[in-house]
Amino acid sequence: MIRFAVLAFTMLLLSSTAWSTELGIIAFQMSSDTHARTANAAVEQAKSKGLEVTLLNSEGAVPKHAEQLDTLIQKGVDG
């Protein structure tokens, strides 16, 4: 599931047309090197495309992950 999400996100970033202005990224566990590298690389790519980015860390807790997803929806991020 995570690989699919990363692939979908990468395809979005590589597309020539970025339709959103603010992107929300939730890393499941930033203490994991792989999760941290992936999230930070996504932030760098998004910013290089001119997008604003909100990066959140759910610290490995599914309830916190769901809460942060709701937070991003309420914030009105574009992607």
pLDDT in tens, 24-65: 999 999 999 999 999 999 999 999 988 999 999 999 999 999
Which helix (H) or strand (E) segment is 52 a member of? strand 52-57
**21 pLDDT tier (thresholds 50, 70, 90):** confident
pLDDT at 14: 61
Whole-Å CA distances, 65 to 47, 57, 59:
23, 8, 8
Domains in the chain: how many in total?
A: 1
The predicted model gives 68-76 an average pLDDT of 93
Q: What pTM does this model have? A: 0.69
Four-point Cα dihedral 60, 36, 52, 17, nearest 10: -110
Give the domain range for residue 13: 2-75
For position 19, which CATH number holds? 3.40.50.2300
According to the model, what pLDDT value does residue 16 have?
A: 47
